[in-house]
Amino acid sequence: MKKAEMLVEGKKTFDLPIIIDTMGNQSLDIRNLRKQTGMITYDPGFGNTGSCQSQITYLDGEKGILRYRGYAIEDLVEHCDFVEVAYLLIHGYLPNKKERERYADLLNRHSLLHADMQSFFRRYPDHSHPMSILAAMAVSLSSFYEINLEEDPELQIDLTVTRLMSKMRTIAAFSYRKMKGTDFVNPSYTYSYCANYLNMMFSSPVVPYEPNPVHVKAMNKLLILHADHEQNCSTTAVRLIGSAGGNLYSAVSGGICALWGPRHGGANQAVIEMLDQIYQDGGDVRKAVERAKDKNDPYRLMGFGHRVYKTYDPRAKIARETCEEVLKELGKRDPLLDIAEELEQVALEDDYFKEKNLYPNVDFYTGIIFRAMGIPTNMYTVMFALGRLPGWIAHWLEWHHDPFERIGRPRQLYMGPTARAVPPIAERE
Ligand code: SDX
């Protein structure tokens, strides 16, 4: 076992074991640090902290590499659909034809929502953000579809995974119909996963509707791009809730809430709002770049920068290509794509962005594709959540099956007042 020597205050040295992962990356094992030295580490935002060992996703931020269970993201979007990739993340291997067909059939069989759940939607204010509905409905699934671990626990968990994968898509579509004030459209066994979703969103009794194959292909690609990303903020939230023994529905609900933040999955909505504002203001991208560089201005280039990627996010590259393909196949142009591409060019030539390694991330182009598909802005993060769902499930299962996993409970540096007596209220100023 490789070890690192740690010198404390110039005298005592401690050996810290080094763990080497599959890709040769080295980590200091500090599990006994406090016991040995009385000290803890300090790492706000956990930028230098490994929270677990995982076999699901590998990413290299310097080289722009992303692999799910060892398969490169570029190959997965080229050769698979989203249901296959969800199966890969959850089960650890790509399904063969028979397994894929059986899984698709299972997802269809579990795609309906309990009738009483449908009445929940009607109680939400019309202006509700669909992410608030999604988070609430996800945890409510545990009331309607109880997980009885007294029975065959693994079968119960398998059933819960399938229900989540299928019913979240229905909940997402229903939240859109709720916003539009139109009746819900139930899932149909005649459609594939993505076509079903689009049909539940857009079909109408008064005009013929068939999901556009260009939209279906683009949605498969986009959900694959979002399917997992190792220990990002929302996945860490899912693992943390799971580590307390929280059930899968509640853990996913927590993940949805974390993803909603504009620094995380909410950025795809913020990107379109930013691009549209630049467009409305006359298209001056240089002004936006200058504002983003100004320390006194809270304005940030949304869709730019990443905690791990210090080069072009491989997903952004695929999203940009898909964006151009979709608009071309639909015979559309979108001025926001022109602005996005110009903004990217100006930023990437600017020293501020170069020095800080700020590149477009997954959220920079995806919103333009959703827009071309007719999906409204406030549904973009819901689309991200639908994509990320198999990743969240895979990480919850990995915790659940890890015999050595412990409840997540970080320490802190206390910087508050030292001990003091409580003054009687009459003596308080
Ligand atoms: C996702 O973790 C994941 O894997 C997430 C994700 C996933 O798949 O799960 O990839 C999905 O969340 C992508 C990120 C989407 N968010 C955005 O696009 C919002 C805009 N980006 C920033 O808020 C920021 O880049 C973060 C939140 C993404 C990353 O923040 P970090 O790693 O904490 O970086 P930082 O805030 O410490 O920034 C480092 C420097 C700072 O300047 P200094 O204080 O060093 O002078 O870069 C600057 C920042 O001010 N900076 C930006 C910037 N992002 C960082 N300046 C202008 N515009 C930006 N977008």
For 202-221, the pLDDT digits (tens) are 999 999 999 999 999 999 99
Q: At what angle do helices 82-91 and 97-109 cross, to 10 degrees?
A: 100
* Cα 218 to middle of ligand 1, angstroms: 26
* Cα 306 to middle of ligand 1, angstroms: 5
Confidence (pLDDT) at 308: 95
- The residue whose CA has the least distance to atom 21 of ligand 1 is 305
Confidence (pLDDT) at 225: 98
Confidence (pLDDT) at 7: 78
Helix (H, G, I), strand (E, B) or coil at 65: strand
The reported pTM is 0.96
Confidence (pLDDT) at 326: 94
| Catalytic-residue membership of 114 | no
Element (H, E) at 28: strand 26-28
Q: What angle do CA 367, 350, 365 make, to 5 degrees?
A: 10
Confidence (pLDDT) at 291: 97
Residue 283: exposure state from Cβ atoms within 10 A (0-12, 13-18, ≥19): middle
- Tokens at residue 389, please? 């769902």
Region 189-197: what's the mean pLDDT?
Answer: 96
Work out the pLDDT band at 227, boundaries 50, 70, 90: very high
Mutate to test the pocket of ligand 1, among 231, 238, 304 (most ligand atoms within 8 A of CB): 304
- The residue whose CA has the least distance to atom 38 of ligand 1 is 305
Region of residue 92 (left: phi > 0; alpha: psi -120 to 50; beta: else): left
Q: Is the pLDDT of residue 121 over 80?
A: yes
Work out the pLDDT band at 147, boundaries 50, 70, 90: confident
Confidence (pLDDT) at 231: 98
Radius of gyration of the chain (CA): 24
Residue of 264, 338, 350, 402 marked catalytic: 264
Work out the pLDDT band at 97, boundaries 50, 70, 90: very high
234-289: per-residue pLDDT in tens?
A: 999 999 999 999 999 999 999 999 999 999 999 999 999 999 999 999 999 999 99
- The residue whose CA has the least distance to atom 13 of ligand 1 is 264
Confidence (pLDDT) at 17: 95
Work out the pLDDT band at 153, boundaries 50, 70, 90: confident
Confidence (pLDDT) at 8: 75
Mutate to test the pocket of ligand 1, among 65, 264, 354 (most ligand atoms within 8 A of CB): 264
Q: Is the pLDDT of residue 226 over 90?
A: yes
Region 86-113: what's the mean pLDDT?
Answer: 96
Cα–Cα distance for residue pair 290/182, rounded to 1 Å: 43
Q: Is the dihedral of CA 244, 247, 250, 254 positive or negative?
A: positive
* Cα 355 to middle of ligand 1, angstroms: 14
Q: Is the pLDDT of residue 349 over 80?
A: yes
Residue of 306, 313, 334, 395 marked catalytic: 306
Q: Is the pLDDT of residue 11 over 80?
A: no
375-403: per-residue pLDDT in tens?
A: 999 999 999 999 999 999 999 999 999 98
Other Cβ atoms closer than 10 A to 271:
28
Q: Is the pLDDT of residue 12 over 80?
A: no
Region 129-133: what's the mean pLDDT?
Answer: 96
| Catalytic-residue membership of 306 | yes
Cα–Cα distance for residue pair 220/218, rounded to 1 Å: 5
Q: Is the pLDDT of residue 126 over 90?
A: no
- Tokens at residue 11, please? 């005298």
Residues making up the chain, counted from first to last: 429
Work out the pLDDT band at 13, boundaries 50, 70, 90: confident
Percent of the chain whose predicted confidence (pLDDT) is above 90: 92
299-329: per-residue pLDDT in tens?
A: 999 999 999 999 999 999 999 999 999 999 9
Comparing CA positions, the residue from 262, 181, 220 lying closest to residue 83 is 220
Is 254 in contact with 237 (CB distance < 8 Å)? yes
Region 152-163: what's the mean pLDDT?
Answer: 90
Q: Is the pLDDT of residue 5 over 90?
A: no
Confidence (pLDDT) at 223: 98
- Tokens at residue 1, please? 């076992």
Cα–Cα distance for residue pair 102/83, rounded to 1 Å: 11
Comparing CA positions, the residue from 191, 421, 265 lying closest to residue 199 is 191
* Cα 409 to middle of ligand 1, angstroms: 25
* Cα 213 to middle of ligand 1, angstroms: 34
Confidence (pLDDT) at 155: 86
* Cα 190 to middle of ligand 1, angstroms: 42
Q: Which residues line ligand 1 (CB under 6 A)?
A: 45, 229, 232-233, 263-265, 267, 292, 300-308, 356, 358, 361-363
- The residue whose CA has the least distance to atom 44 of ligand 1 is 295
Q: What is the DSSP letter of 57?
A: E
Region 324-345: what's the mean pLDDT?
Answer: 95
Q: Is the pLDDT of residue 9 over 90?
A: no
Element (H, E) at 150: none
The label of the residue with tokens 């791009």 reads 225
Cα–Cα distance for residue pair 221/8, rounded to 1 Å: 51
Other Cβ atoms closer than 10 A to 84:
19
Region 103-123: what's the mean pLDDT?
Answer: 94
Residue 127: exposure state from Cβ atoms within 10 A (0-12, 13-18, ≥19): exposed
Percent of the chain whose predicted confidence (pLDDT) is above 70: 100
Q: What is the DSSP letter of 220?
A: H
Q: Is the pLDDT of residue 156 over 90?
A: no
Confidence (pLDDT) at 184: 96
Long-range pairs, 15-21, Cβ under 8 A, ≥24: 21/53
| Catalytic-residue membership of 226 | no
Q: What is the DSSP letter of 307?
A: S
Question: Average pLDDT, whole number, for the chain?
Answer: 95
